[in-house]
A and B are shown apart, each in its own frame.
Chain A
Amino acid sequence: MNIVMDVFNWLIAAGPTVLLPVIITIIGMIFGLRIDKAFKSGLTLGIGFAGIKLILDFMTTNVGPAAKAMVERTGAHLTALDVGWGSIAAVTWASPIIAILIFAILAVNIVLLIIKRTHTLDVDIWNYHHMAIVGVMVYFVTKNIALGVGSSIVMALVTFKLADWSQPMTEKFFGMPGVSLPTVSALSSLVIAWPLNWLLDRIPFMRRNKFSIRDAQKYLGFFGDSMIMGLLIGMAIGFFAGYNLMKIMQLGVSMAAVLVLIPKMTSLFMEGLMPISDSAQKWSEKRFKGRKLFIGLDAAVVVGNADVITTALIIIPLTILMALVLPGNQVLPFADLAVVPFRVALVVALTNGNLLKNIIIGLVVTASLLWCGTSTAPVLTEIAKSVGIKLGANSLYISSFAATSMIQSFAVYFAFTWHPLISIPVLLVIFAGVWYFFDGIKHVNAAMDAQNQKSAHA
């Protein structure tokens, strides 16, 4: 046992670029990959992490001093730099307990499917990082593996159920039968959107208005282009930092480079994990043969919708404004402005494309992202440092619109770290109530439930 711990500690000391290839090779082989394929997957992830590390280093050495100067000159207290969900995902996959978390999340899905408490089959292993990061953070704060794993299990439970409950409306609005979206970055907004939409519907004007902006994409489209967005934000930060023109332009191009390069590095993670997802899919297809299931897909498949893009293009500039005026906010929005469409996609489906409601709900969601992001930035920063990401000497925090900036993840993280003995039961009771409301009263998946009943008697 001691030897195992020694080896493990040695791997952790070696850092994620060594740990990732080893851990992923092992995970891959458990999923039935040949050793050479599994090893190549692992090595690809290790390379992806090295790439993310490079970019983050480049980003913080460039924007760090500028952000600091901007804070000093303008008094805008934006000290938590949004480094983007991709960077956070890389940190998540580099955690020493990631293997346990991945299997725990997968186990939750399989068990729920077997006892017929979910219809969503989610073997999109890559997107498990949203559920795993909560476990990583809880473990980091409490040093308690059981609490860490427990929090990821609750995240998984909530995610699969939200995917089930939102399936009918995604099918109707986006026209995708048989598919559900267990992607936390899209689902989490519903925690706010469902009650808020109900409230707004009490106002006849809200329910009936038919505002629409035609051609928003034509006029606001440049905001949606990562390189332009990076350039503009970088130049704005340089301007407010009191830089001269040359340095303003340098910062602009550097930030454009960051926004274009982070996704390229992140896609290495996706590429490396694909063979593992593939074999998980084959295994589960065999196991659940003949049963009708919702196939869980990344919410990336719906964000191309014109209403979603329009709403996002309006929310993106408002997010930057809000960051400046929202009391208590310290998050400086940057890399994750690119994924605002994910945060609003299901809001749009919920309101059936009611633009005014989309914007109101979208802004409330944005406020929650900024506040929750501010409050958990210190922990996230410590975790990033612990896996060897250098953040310069600018005493800058990192944050994002992912991880515990999202209300669902924040609630679970908070419950598991505040007073676990009180707050975990409270969270579970609330969730059970919501579960009863959707499955017991509203019967949102009635057709699928009936099919399960039939096959149970057959």
Chain B
Amino acid sequence: MAAHILVACGNGIATSTVVASKIKSFLAEKGVDVETTQTKLMEVPGKVENYDLLVTTGQFEGQTHGVPYIHGLPLLTGVGAQDTLNKIYETVKDK
């Protein structure tokens, strides 16, 4: 079964598209099947429960209801991007 990742940013459009597609292409190379859904940060608390992982491009201080959370800013700036991708891989590879 594919892992479901919720990718959130300010408007659910701009930076989340960049991060979601970087995650998808990285995991595709590793042979991990994922589905990403993009959303606004304000809508995260109401949605996150149904996902295996939450990645946000900015600060997020709300409730994740126990869903693992990874900060995705490095995927935008490029600094530490590889570490972040590996962390994401470790989190979802067995889902």
Chain A interfacial positions (CB closer than 8 Å to B): 86, 126-127, 174-176, 178-179, 217, 221, 224-226, 263, 266-267, 270-271, 274, 277, 281, 285, 295, 297-306, 309, 338-339, 341-342
Task: Kindly list chain A residues whose C-beta atoms are within 8 Å of the C-beta of B77.
Answer: 178-179, 295, 297
- Chain B residue at minimum C-beta to C-beta distance from A218: B45
Given contacts A226-B43, A299-B10, contact A304 B17 (CB under 8 A): no
Contacting residues, chain B, for A338 (C-beta < 8 A): 11, 40
User: Known contacts A300-B57, A302-B58: does B13 contact A266 (CB below 8 Å)?
Assistant: yes
Residues in A with CB closer than 8 Å to B43 are 224-226
Restricting to B12-57, which residues have a CB under 8 Å from any CB of A? Answer: 12-18, 21, 38, 40-43, 45-46, 56-57
Q: How far is the CB of A130 from chain B (nearest CB, A)?
A: 12
Residues in B neighbouring A298, C-beta threshold 8 A: 9-10, 14-15
Tally of B interface residues using CB under 8 Å = 31
CB-nearest residue of chain B relative to A273?
Answer: B17
What separation, in Å, do the CA atoms of A178 and B77 have in the docked complex? 9
Per the bound structure, the CA–CA distance linking A277 and B78 in Å amounts to 13
Q: Is B79 an interface residue (CB 8 A)?
A: yes
* Chain A residues, CB < 8 A from B14: 126-127, 270, 298, 300
Minimum CB distance partner of A295 in chain B = B77
Q: List 11 contacting pairs A-B, 8 Å CB cutoff, sorted by A.
A: A178-B77, A224-B43, A225-B42, A225-B43, A295-B76, A298-B9, A301-B9, A301-B57, A304-B9, A304-B10, A341-B10
| A-B pairs with lowest CB-CB distance, top 3 | A300-B10, A224-B42, A303-B10
User: What is the bound-complex CA distance between A295 and B76, given in angstroms?
Assistant: 9
A266 to B38, CA, bound (A): 12
Q: How far is the CB of B70 from chain A (nearest CB, A)?
A: 14
Closest to A183 in B: B14
Q: Kindly provide the distance from the CB of A243 to the nearest chain B CB, expressed in whole angstroms.
A: 28
- Asked whether A300 lies within 8 Å of B16 as measured between CB atoms, the reply is yes
Q: Which residues of A contact B66 (CB under 8 A)?
A: none
B76 touches A342 (CB 8 A): no
Counting chain A CB atoms within 10 Å of each CB, the highest count among B13, B58, B79 belongs to: B13
For A225, the chain B residues whose CB sits under 8 A away are 42-43, 46
Given A176-B73, A302-B58, 7 other A-B contacts at CB below 8 A? A127-B14, A224-B43, A226-B43, A298-B15, A302-B59, A305-B59, A339-B10
Contacts of A175 in B (CB 8 A): 59
Inter-chain contacts of B42 with A (CB < 8 A)? 217, 221, 224-225, 309, 341
